[in-house]
Amino acid sequence: MKKNLIIIFSDLDGTILHKRNFKFDKIKKYIKELISHKIILVPNTSKTELEIKDFMKELGIKLPFICENGSAIHNLNLINSKLPKKIILSRNIKNILEILNEIPYKFRKKIVDLRKIDKKKQLKIFGLPKNKLNNALKRKFTIPIKFNGNINEKRKFHTQIKKLGLIIQYGGRVSNLGDKVDKSKSIKLFLKLVKSKIKDPIKTIGVGDNHNDISMLKNTDIPCLVFNQHFKTTNLNIRKLIISSKPSPQGWADVIKKAVLKIK
């Protein structure tokens, strides 16, 4: 009987990383232990490529990863040398901005591009230290926004962008406007490519803490949710969901231990 290859698709902010200070020192040793046992960790996050590279530098290990809510897959070649190093699933920001010009001005004028506001406001909204803010703003596929309209205007705005093939992904701190991709679409392609080269049975674990993680959790074998006091877990309709009683980073380790035990 072949041994299962375990792949963990995980959000970062509020899941692996502490919600306020973005540290993960308490579970770094455990993450390295998982990887040493041939378990594959794949960050799947709204973070940029540069932010994830910072995370990997802190961890001290290079990983395959998915950035900007499913916009691009990186380092698949680490799993198998015949797989591509990079796959882009999304149109770039230039294309997104051109598409936005098709939206009526009455809606466009209510969109605040958070990349262009005062730095003090950016630091407050993103909740990041100064040395990490620049990498968070260097986005290639998504635009961090705030929509200054009432509920009715917001509903109409959503209808407009949906018609144009765009979506808004809601994270813990920031909403990102981008192409019609998400964490689950990138997972499906990721697994399709891996299965084309690796014949071992694969079991997947998905870990998140917020709204934009739901599609990812629904498309993995063992979905896990790290405790988030601002996120209601009722009516999620996710089968076999493991929920931690602790927030990140310890909550991540707790649910992973239970998920790995289930697989083994």
With bands split at pLDDT 50, 70 and 90, how would you rate the model's confidence at 1? low
Of 54, 51, 49, 55, the C-alpha closest to 75 is: 49
From CA 69, how far away is CA 66, in angstroms rounded?
Answer: 7
- The answer on pLDDT for 62 being more than 70 is yes
Q: Do 183 and 166 form a contact (C-beta atoms < 8 A)?
A: no
Residue 230's pLDDT is 83
The mean pLDDT value for 191-195 works out to 98
Structural domain for 132, as ranges: 93-179
139 and 246 belong to one structural domain: no
**Among 179, 198, 214, residue at a domain's last position:** 179
| Last residue within a domain, chosen from 117, 145, 179 | 179
pLDDT band at 122 (very low <50, low <70, confident <90, very high): very high
> Which of 127, 148, 179 is the last residue before a domain boundary?
179
Are both 150 and 81 inside the same structural domain?
Answer: no
Q: What is the mean pLDDT of residues 154-171?
A: 91
Are residues 108 and 82 located together in one domain of the fold? no
For the domain that residue 128 is a member of, what is the CATH number?
3.30.980.20
Domain count, the chain: 2
- 237: confidence class by pLDDT, cuts 50, 70, 90: confident
- The more confidently predicted of residues 137 and 211 is 137
pLDDT value for 85: 98
Do 186 and 237 reside in the same domain of the chain?
yes
Residue 105 sits in the same domain as residue 163: yes
Q: Give which of 34, 166, 12, 37 is closest to 102, Cα–Cα.
A: 166
Provide the CATH number for the domain around residue 31: 3.40.50.1000
**Domain shared by 186 and 160, yes or no:** no
Q: Which residues of 39-70 are buried (b: 16+ CB within 10 A; e: fewer)?
A: bbbbbbbbbbbbbbbbbbeebeeebbbbbbbb
**How does the average pLDDT of the chain come out, rounded?**
94
